[in-house]
Amino acid sequence: MQTAAAEKIVLKVGDTAPDFELTDQHRERVRLSDFQGAKNVVLAFFPLAFTSGCRTELQSYQSDISFFNENNTVVLAISVDAQPSQKTFAEELGAQYQFLSDWPDKEVSRRYGILSERGFAERHTFVIDKQGIIQRIDSGRDAIDITGAKSACSVLS
């Protein structure tokens, strides 16, 4: 029998980003592949809504949303919180980008290899180009600071 650590998926720069379909804060379905060929995508996985690190990170995306729009990039915030929590959190932040719910099965966090043993997504940012290829990955404290994601998006646009 394999351990959970042995089964963990490890994505790296240059890999094709796993496609998914999730519900956003407005109950709209969003597929990663919908952006292929048209937009770069920043997937900002965050542990839990309403926590201080998540608030800091996601407020930064909102503060710089015009930068991402100008660089032909969509920001998608993802956590295992249910859709009603995502909606309330996005409204509190005044977010002009989508918050996606990976609840209840947490399959997207699992497919991206970032589902913690405690059952929430570990903080990771994946910058994905228009062809669906991962161009940058930040994790932990590096993901709270969105400078790396902005830098990658500047190069891609």
* Under-70 pLDDT residues of the chain: 1-7
DSSP 115-155: B-TTSSBPPEEEEE-TTSBEEEEEETHHHHSTHHHHHHHHH
Is the bond into 84 cis (omega within 30 degrees of 0)? no
Residues designated as active site? 54
- Please tell me whether the overall predicted TM-score, pTM, comes out greater than 0.75 for this model: yes
DSSP state letters, 72-111:
TEEEEEEESS-HHHHHHHHHHHT-SSEEEE-TTT-HHHHH
Task: Determine the pLDDT at residue 9.
Answer: 84
Residue-wise pLDDT for 94-107, tens only, equals 999 999 999 999 99
> Which of 3.65.10.10, 3.40.50.720, 3.40.30.10, 3.40.1390.10 is the CATH number of 23-156?
3.40.30.10
Domain boundaries, the chain: 23-156
pLDDT digits (tens, 9 = 90+) for 135-153: 999 999 999 999 999 999 9
